[in-house]
Amino acid sequence: MIETDLNSLWFLLIAVLWMGYFFLEGFDFGVGILLPFVGRDDLDRRVAIRAIGPHWDGNEVWLIVAGGATFAAFPEWYATLFSGFYLPLFIVLVALIIRGVAFEFRAKDRRPRWRAGWDAAIFVGSLLPSFLWGVAFANIVRGVPIDAAGEYTGTLWTLLNPYALLGGLATLLLFTLHGGTFLGLKAAGPVAERAHAAAARLALPTALAAAGFLAWTLVRTADAERGDLGLLPLGALIAVAALAAAAILAALPLLRAERDGWAFVTTGLTIVAATLVLFMDLYPRVMPSSTSPAFSLDIYTAASTPTTLRVMSVVALIFVPLVLAYQAWSYWVFRKRITREQLSPSG
């Protein structure tokens, strides 16, 4: 019984890591995507970058831990995922590397062309992962061609199906809106005003895309052969999806009332609830096979040994609270708004 509990526990922990990553890195991506639109000059763009400067690299730790936890707890899931989704995940990795380099190198030279090039790298390095993460997770939930050996048998074009593309559009818009509400909360002056205006314009299209994707997910799940898959009750998925829809709809009047703080809470809640819906839809599967349900990987067939899971649980119990406490402390220390007046004009 303990092994079964640990398998479910680690599935839940990986889900929590992805929810935390999308919530935190989501507004980082959103700020990067909005950078050309909220920054009319170099000083404005520096305000936007400084707003996420103390946090973006710490937020990416959630991705590293999620990947490491998946590799250690469910190695078969990790192997099938990274072999089948090799090219999209490689593009995400390159985009994240270029984006990180851009944050560090942008200030090394004051020439406008130098900074404009790195600003473009921040934009592209934020936009591509925002879209591709949605495509990847939509495909995981939808199911991909996997044979009896656990090998992915599709192509890149298999992943570019309408459901996955809608998932990518939903995450792209949602992260951008999340970034706009964060900038409206964290920055001050013209940057905050432009970010608020951009978020207000994005709110309705984002709500439509997110609601459409969640509705398609629920219809797909309701039509699927639930049988012996051990899926959670459809009612539970509907309840969480309704929470996500209510949260994103609540952002519309909040943005009109210029309540950016509460709008940020609602966009964040939408991201968390939508991610939870996807993991609830999966459980206990981790990589559904569209070839045959018998070939699907689940939290038992893809898991490490019980000893490995027990050791990982002890390590996580010790270190995860420390990491969370440190990250919470860093957000508290850098909680003040960023203004143009705080920055040197020639910095």
Of 55, 66, 54, nearest in space to 92 by CA: 66
Residue 17 predicted with pLDDT over 60: yes
- C-alpha to C-alpha distance for 299 and 282, rounded to whole angstroms: 10
Q: Which of 1-5, 35-39, 135-139, 268-272 is the least confident region?
A: 1-5
The tokens of 166 are what?
């809608």
Residue 279 predicted with pLDDT over 80: yes
Residue 261 predicted with pLDDT over 50: yes
Position with higher pLDDT, 221 vs 184: 184
In the DSSP assignment, the letter for residue 160 is: -
- C-alpha to C-alpha distance for 97 and 334, rounded to whole angstroms: 24
pLDDT of residue 287: 92
Of 130, 114, 137, 165, nearest in space to 28 by CA: 130
- C-alpha to C-alpha distance for 30 and 197, rounded to whole angstroms: 14
Position with higher pLDDT, 327 vs 74: 74
262 contacts 226 by C-beta, under 8 angstroms: no
In the DSSP assignment, the letter for residue 226 is: -
Q: Provide the residue ranges of all domains of the chain, joining segments of one domain with +.
A: 2-342
Mean pLDDT of the chain: 90
Tell me the per-residue pLDDT of 298-333, one tens digit each, with 9 for 90 and over. 999 999 999 999 999 999 889 888 888 988 898 888
The band of 58, judged by pLDDT with boundaries at 50, 70 and 90, is confident
Residue 102 predicted with pLDDT over 90: yes
Q: Which residues of 123-139 are buried (b: 16+ CB within 10 A; e: fewer)?
A: bbbbbbbbbbbbbbbbb
pLDDT of residue 4: 57
112 contacts 157 by C-beta, under 8 angstroms: no
pLDDT of residue 110: 86
Tell me the per-residue pLDDT of 29-44, one tens digit each, with 9 for 90 and over. 999 999 999 988 889 9
The 3-state DSSP composition of the chain as helix, strand, coil percent (nearest 5) reads: 80, 5, 20
260 contacts 185 by C-beta, under 8 angstroms: yes
Question: What value does the mean pLDDT take over residues 64-93?
Answer: 92
The band of 226, judged by pLDDT with boundaries at 50, 70 and 90, is very low
In the DSSP assignment, the letter for residue 232 is: P
pLDDT of residue 339: 80
